[in-house]
Chains A and B, each alone.
Chain A
């Protein structure tokens, strides 16, 4: 099963196995990763599942839709070039080893 590495704002890393098709947000909640809030449940209405994607993986992701782009604008920690909403990242085999850094706060 492909793995995702979540790195907290303090730099602590946790590696989680994530089934293909599951979002990076859902896997975080299920595995008790603090720092992903997902207030709206994954429908691009809030920005509380914001992550910074490692550059090497960022280019493997399908580009963000308009809705996600708009939501990133209101993130609690200002967006960076590799910012994404983790509710919009679905796990694939190609993303095995995906590294995401969590912002200091989500709201």
Chain B
């Protein structure tokens, strides 16, 4: 038996690669190495059900500990990979151990982007990505009264909705002119600003945070460049992530906005792959190279890479999708709206039950659905299969998307090449 596959990273990407390898009948050794002390777990509940006490940690472990033994997956926790020796095909851990590989999968994820202002290091300034950070936030939320969320993206807004549901005073500070602006159209941002405002969250867009003043080491306020001040006994920073590219870069692999991989999720070293939040891949649905941070991207890239390693090479072609839960409103996104040149709506935004259809050069590129799960699911089929939908059909509620999706599938339309 050879050295088998070594996977660095115990997030969902790493876990799924190991699990899918065994599902595919791969018989060689599998080693899964991660820095966190916990067995692999899901991250989405950390900003949602876990904070509200609806879910405990055990309920979102991806699999129980026994799974790894049963499937002959060697799980090494609490260890950091320090270097990759490509010629020797070895990973060196910070603890000094050397682990040989035949195939190496970098599922190293991303880390929180840190807030670059004075006072950001004070007690009471929290981030949210890992289990331990989620636990710290949960403990602090219990006693905090005034919460300032820095960053009006998905994480920030989910925490805002949780904190507001718990009856806290909540302010959201977003640097850009609108909420979730990198991901959704202005109409969706507007609806979400209205939603949070209606729940008595104070939303400030165009807010340039300049300092977090404190006393005795504890954060007390958040200051903006224009002089505005917000009282805070807890500040949650959710201003995005930085992909962990250093290990790859130091090994001489190409790095851009992520570890660069081809359509097989392979770096220029054919023995090394990169997947999930850390990887930038060519995406047929975006028409460009993208780096995505989502469960869908992570799980399906892991399956794709596992198939390739197990001997059934396939290009990665999965349709991106995403969701966010805020209060009782579900936003579901299918496809990549980036670069769209036309938007049509199905349903009325004021009703909090509508979808935005994004078109690029006349083709349906993406759909954002608010409380319209049928639009989302059928949209996934339509976009993935490249079934033609006109803006007129998309906007016309009498056109049954389900019928369109079924008809299109029967006609044998093929996804974009």
Contact across chains for B378 and A73 when beta carbons are under 8 A apart: yes
Bound together, the chains give a CA A32 to CA B70 distance in angstroms of 9
Q: Is A26 at the interface (CB under 8 A from chain B)? A: yes
Chain A residues whose CB sits within 8 angstroms of the CB of B60 once the complex forms: 41
Tell me if A9 counts as interface (CB < 8 A to partner B): no
Residue of B nearest to A26 (CB): B59
A13 contacts partner chain B, Cβ-Cβ < 8 Å: no
Point out the residues of chain A lying under 8 angstroms from B44, CB to CB: 40-41, 43
A70-B376, A74-B381 as given contacts; A43 in contact with B323, CB under 8 Å = yes
Residues of A within 8 A of B377 (CB): 70-71, 73-74
Residues of chain B lying within 8 A (CB to CB) of residue A107:
303
User: Given the interface contacts A70-B376, A73-B402, does A41 sit within 8 Å of B64 by beta carbon?
Assistant: no
Residue in contact with B295 in the complex, picked from A41, A67, A73, CB distance below 8 Å:
A41
What is the size category of the interface that chain A forms with chain B? 20 to 34
Contact among A29, A39, A41, A44 with B373 in the assembled complex (CB-CB below 8 Å)? A44
- Tell me whether B169 is interfacial, beta carbon within 8 Å: no
Report the number of A-B residue pairs with Cβ-Cβ less than 8 Å: 54
Interface residues in B36-82 (C-beta closer than 8 Å to A): 42, 44-45, 59-60, 62-64, 66-67, 70
Is A71 a contact partner of B295 (Cβ separation < 8 A)? no
Distance, CA A23 to CA B23, complexed state (A)? 23
Contact A67 B64 (CB under 8 A): no
**A window 53-77: CB within 8 A of B:** 66-67, 69-71, 73-74
Cβ of B63: which chain A residues have Cβ within 8 Å of it? 29, 32
Chain A hits for B62, CB < 8 A: 29
A43 to B66, CA, bound (A): 24
Does B144 belong to the interface (CB within 8 Å)?
Answer: no
Closest to A48 in B: B299
CB neighbours of A73 from chain B (8 A): 374, 377-378, 381, 402
The reply to whether A66 and B373 form a contact with Cβ atoms under 8 Å apart is yes
Task: Check B380–A74 contact: CB distance below 8 A.
Answer: yes
B321 surroundings in chain A (CB, below 8 A): 45
Confirm or deny: A10 has a beta carbon within 8 angstroms of a beta carbon on chain B: no
A71 to B137, CA, bound (A): 32
Q: Is A32's CB under 8 angstroms from B67's CB? A: yes
What are 19 A-to-B residue pairs whose CB atoms are below 8 Å?
A26-B59, A29-B63, A32-B63, A39-B299, A40-B323, A41-B295, A43-B323, A43-B325, A45-B321, A45-B323, A46-B296, A69-B374, A70-B378, A73-B378, A73-B402, A74-B377, A74-B380, A74-B381, A107-B303
Beyond the given A29-B62, A43-B44, A45-B321, could you list 20 further A-B residue pairs with CB under 8 A, ordered by the A residue number? A30-B64, A32-B63, A32-B64, A32-B67, A32-B70, A39-B295, A39-B296, A40-B295, A40-B323, A41-B295, A43-B323, A45-B323, A66-B373, A67-B373, A71-B377, A73-B374, A73-B377, A73-B378, A73-B402, A74-B380
Query: Which residues of chain A have a CB within 8 Å of any CB of chain B?
Result: 26, 29-30, 32, 34, 39-41, 43-46, 66-67, 69-71, 73-74, 107
